[in-house]
Chain A
C-alpha cells in the first residue's frame, strides 16, 4: 500500500485559473472569495498497475457543496475515496499527487490516515448502519471507535445533536435503542449521515448517497445536504445530473478517456456548467448524448 509522493515541489496556488476556466469569473457578486477547505493537485489513483484517475486538480470551497458528475467508470468514486485516504484500504490501490485539507498535507508520510478520516466524514452509496448496534450506538460509534471517554450525558447530547443535524431526531427519538437496521432505507442513510457528522468532520464526502433510495427519501437527503452545507464542506458524487444541479454550487465533470483513466474535463459553477458548458464533451454528457 505504498503511496508515493510526487510533485512535492509543485507551486501552491498559481496555474489554477488556467485549469479551471470558470474560476476567473467565480467570485460571487459582492462576496469575497471563500476559503478553500480541500484541494487536490495532480491527484492520480491506481488499482495495482491500472490507473483509474489522472492528474486531477480541484478545489473545494468551505461551506459549499461541490458535485462530481460523470458516467460510470469515470473514476469519480475513486477520486472521492482518495480525499480521505479510503482508496488505499482496497488491496493493491495507491495514489500519487497531493491532497491538502486546510493546512494538512493528506498524503504526507507523517500524516496518519486514521486522523485524516476523522476530519473527513464519508457517506456511502448503500446505507450501511452497523446492524448489531442501536440507533444511538450507531451515532456514538465514531467517537467510541476513536476511544472517546465521554460521559453518558455528553454522549446523549452528541447523539441528539447529530441526529437533529441529520433531520432524523423526530423520527427516531422514541426508538433510540432499537436496531439501526430496522429503519427504512432513507432513515438508515440519514443515520449514516448523523454517524459521520458525529466525529465533527470539516468535510463530508458523499458517494452517490441517494442511488439506493426512493424519490421521497432522495428529496429529504438533498434538503439535508443543502442545509448542512452551511456548517460543513460537502463533496457529493452523483450520476444524477438533476441532483447535482439541485444541491451543488460547483460541479466537476469527469470522463474516462479511451485509456480508461478518468480525468477532470470541466469544473465550474454548477449553473454555468449546466447552461454554458465550455467543453463539447461536457455538453454531450449533460444533454444525454452519452453516459
Chain B
C-alpha cells in the first residue's frame, strides 16, 4: 500500500489536470446538447403557442358549422373545408391504402420475385417527388384531361399518390416484423400462400398496418400545394367527387392571402383546427401502436 502510494504520488498532479479537463469538456458538450434541445422545444412551443393564441379567438361553434362569408359580413366558418378534408381523406385513403398495402405485400412476401427491388425503388422515387410536381401531374392528367375540370377526385388522386409510398414503406417494415415462423407454421398446415398472407401475416401486423394508414392520412391532411391544382377549394358544402371541394389547408391559404384582418384571424383559427386534428391523429397512432406491443 505504502509503496504504491509513493510511486503514484508524482502522477497525481497530471491526473488532476486530466480529470479537470474532462469535466470541462463534459460540461461543455452537455451544455451544447441541452441548448440544442431547448432550441428545438422552444421552436415547437413558440409555433404551437402562437397558433393557439392567434387562433383561439376565431374559434366558436359557428366557425365549425358555417360556410365562409363574403368579406364584410360578420361570422362565417370553415365547414366546407372540414367536410372537404374528411372526404378527401376518405377518398384518397380508399385509393392509396389498398395499393400501398398490396405493394408492401408484394415486396415482402414475394421477395424472391424479380420485381420486388424495382417496386421498392419506384416507391422511394415517388416519396421523393415534390408534392407540387405530383399536383401538376394530376392537373395535367385529370383536371385538363380525363375529368376536364377541378374536382375532389383529382385532389384525392393527388393525395393518394403522396400516400402510397408512405403506406407501402411503413407496411413493409411492419410485415418484416412478423416472425417467419408464423408463415412457416401456416404453410406447413397446408395453407396456400395467399391465405397465409391474408389470414396470418396481415392480422398479426394489423396494428402496424393501421398505424401506417393513419400516418399517411395525417401527412396528406396537411398537403396544400397539390390541392391548389386539383381540388381547388369550394365555399359551398359539397360532397360531389366530380366538383371542386374545400380542404383545411386550402382554406388557410385563401384566408391568409386575403388583405382582411378578419380573414387573417380565421386563417389562424383554421390553422389551429388543422394542428389539433393532426395532433389528435398522432395520439391515435400512439395508442394503436402501443396495442401492437401487448
- Chain A positions near chain B (C-beta within 8 angstroms): 1, 84, 86, 89, 91-92, 114-119, 121-122, 124, 126, 128-132, 141-142, 144-147, 192, 195-196, 199
Asked if A91 meets B189 with Cβ closer than 8 Å, knowing A131-B204, A144-B199, A145-B196, the reply is no
How many residue pairs bridge A and B at CB < 8 Å?
A: 73
Counting CB contacts under 8 A, is B185 at the interface?
yes
Asked if A128 meets B181 with Cβ closer than 8 Å, knowing A91-B111, A91-B112, A92-B112, the reply is yes
- A275 shortest CB reach to chain B, Å: 35
- Chain B positions near chain A (C-beta within 8 angstroms): 111-112, 179, 181-192, 195-196, 199-200, 203-204, 206
Is A145 a contact of B189 with CB atoms below 8 Å?
A: yes
Residues of chain A within 8 A (CB-CB) of B206 are 132
| Most-contacted residue by chain B among A116, A128, A129, A146 (CB, 10 A) | A128
Partner of B182 from the list A89, A115, A130, A147 (CB cut-off 8 Å) is A130
- A115 shortest CB reach to chain B, Å: 7
Given A119-B190, A128-B181, A128-B182, 13 extra CB contacts under 8 A: A1-B112, A91-B112, A92-B112, A117-B190, A121-B189, A124-B185, A128-B179, A128-B185, A130-B200, A132-B203, A141-B186, A146-B189, A196-B188
Q: Which residue of B lies closest to A126 (CB)?
A: B181
Is A142 a contact of B190 with CB atoms below 8 Å?
A: yes
- B198 shortest CB reach to chain A, Å: 10
Asked if A128 meets B184 with Cβ closer than 8 Å, knowing A91-B112, A141-B189, A199-B189, the reply is yes
Asked if A86 meets B187 with Cβ closer than 8 Å, knowing A91-B111, A130-B204, A145-B199, the reply is yes
Is A89 a contact of B190 with CB atoms below 8 Å?
A: no
Bound CA–CA A52/B49 (angstroms): 65
Partner of B190 from the list A118, A128, A132, A192 (CB cut-off 8 Å) is A118
9 tightest A-B contacts by CB?
A118-B190, A145-B191, A122-B188, A142-B189, A128-B181, A117-B190, A91-B112, A128-B185, A145-B195
Q: Which residue of A lies closest to B112 (CB)?
A: A91
Q: Which residue of A lies closest to B111 (CB)?
A: A91
Q: Which residue of A lies closest to B179 (CB)?
A: A128
Is B182 a contact of A146 with CB atoms below 8 Å?
A: no
Bound CA–CA A132/B199 (angstroms): 11
Bound CA–CA A89/B191 (angstroms): 13
